[in-house]
Amino acid sequence: MSNMTKTMAVFSGSAHPELAREIANALGVELGDIHLEKFANGEIYARYNDSIRGADVFLIQSVAGVLDEELAARGELDLRRPFRAPHHSASMASLVGGGRKGIPGEITLAHNGVLFLDELPEFSRSALDALRQPLENKRAVISRVMAHTVYPADFQLVAAMNPCRCGFFGVEGRMCAKAPQCAEDYLAKLSGPFLDRFDLQIEVPAVSPYDLTSGKTGTGSAEMRAQVLAAREIAAARFAAFGASGLTCNAELKGDMLEKALDMGPGLRRFAAESAEKCGLTARSLNRILRLARTIADLQNEKKVSKMHLIEALSYRRGPLTRRPAGKK
C-alpha cells in the first residue's frame, strides 16, 4: 500500500478574509481560491476553484455572522471585549445557543466580556436556569439533530431588576396595594440555584431630585479602573509566586490554590464556617465569598484576608435577593 500524504487547504468565507489570510500564513499554506454566493435565506454557497481531493479542508467563517459591519468592511477584527445586552423576551436558544444548526447564543457572543440582563425576572425562568451550567464550566454544549457543538462561554454576568413589578416596593407612599406579596412573587421567578451563582447582590436605592441636582460626584471611572488594575497586578504576582501563571483573576481560585491565597488562621476559618452555617450558605456560596474577600483585600492592598474583608463579602451575599420582603417572616 502506498503512503499518502494529506495536504491542507484553507479557504476564506465572507466574514473575515483578512483573518483567514493570517491563519493561512501562520500555517504556511496559500489561501485557496473560492467562489461564494449568498442565497435569499442567508445560506452561503461555496465552490472551490482549487482541487481539494485528498486534502484536509478548512473554511474560515464566523458561525455567528458579521457582528460589526463597519469593521468587516475594512477587513478588521473587533478586538474590544464584547458587551451583550439581549432583550428580556430572548428565548433559551438565543441565550445559550441552538437552532437547527446549533448556532452560538448570547453567552458565547459575550465570551471574555460582559452579558448584561436588564429586567432580570422578566426573562423566562427556563432561559435563566439554562445559564447555570455555563456559568460553572465556562462553555455551552449544544446538541441538535444536525450538530453537536461546544462553544466557549466565559463571561461576566451582570443583571438589574426592580424590587417588584410596579417598581415601588419599599418607597414610602408609593407601594401598591399588593405589597409585600407582589415583591415576593416577583423574586420567586428567580430560582435559588441561579441566584447562588451571583457573587454580589447590591440594593441601589432611588436617587432623590436633590442628589441629582447637587453636583456631588463619587469615584470616577478612571480612578476606579486604576484601583482594579492595581488589584489585578497584586493577584498576578501572587499567582506567579504559587507557580500558577495560567490564572488571571481570583474568581478562578479553587481548592488548594484558594487556601494558599486566603492564608487564614484557625480563628478566621471558624468565623467563616460559623457565618456560612448561620446564613444557610451552600458550599458554592462559601467559596465565592472567600474569593470575594480575597479580592476586597487586594483592592485595599492588604496581604492577608481579615475578618472585616469576610464581613464585607458576606454583606454582598446577604443582599435583597436573599431576604424576604418586609412583612414576611
Confidence (pLDDT) at 328: 44
Return d(Cα 264, Cα 45) in angstroms, integer.
Answer: 61
Q: Judging by beta carbons within 10 Å of its beta carbon (0-12, 13-18, 19+), is residue 122 exposed, middle or buried? A: middle
Span 64-95, pLDDT tens digits: 766 677 776 776 777 889 999 999 999 999 99
The topology under which CATH files domain 83-206 is Rossmann fold (3.40.50)
Return d(Cα 165, Cα 163) in angstroms, integer.
Answer: 7
DSSP assignment of 218-272 equals -S-HHHHHHHHHHHHHHHHHHHHHTT-TT--SGGG--HHHHHHHH---HHHHHHH
Three cell numbers written together for 109: 457572543
- Label residue 57 by pLDDT band (50, 70, 90): very high
- Label residue 321 by pLDDT band (50, 70, 90): low
The most distant pair of C-alpha atoms in the chain lies apart, rounded to whole Å, by 88
Confidence (pLDDT) at 329: 39
Three cell numbers written together for 298: 487586594
Three cell numbers written together for 293: 474577600
For range 192-196, the mean pLDDT: 91
pLDDT above 60: residue 4: no
Residue found by looking up cell 476553484 in the block = 49
Element (H, E) at 36: strand 34-38
Of 30-34, 86-90, 132-136, 202-206, the poorest mean pLDDT is in: 202-206
* Single pTM value for the model: 0.81
Return d(Cα 218, Cα 214) in angstroms, integer.
Answer: 12
Per-domain residue ranges of the chain: 7-73, 83-206, 221-321
Confidence (pLDDT) at 325: 44
For range 265-279, the mean pLDDT: 92
Span 98-152, pLDDT tens digits: 887 788 999 999 999 999 999 999 999 999 999 999 999 999 998 877 778 899 9
Residue type present at position 114: V
- Label residue 1 by pLDDT band (50, 70, 90): very low
More confident residue, 71 or 47: 47
What's domain 7-73's architecture?
3-Layer(aba) Sandwich (3.40)
**How many C-beta atoms lie closer than 10 Å to residue 155's C-beta?**
25
Return d(Cα 187, Cα 162) in angstroms, integer.
Answer: 10
Q: Yes or no: say if 34 and 47 are a contact pair by the CB < 8 Å rule.
A: yes
Torsion 118-121-122-127 (CA) sign? positive
Three cell numbers written together for 148: 453537536
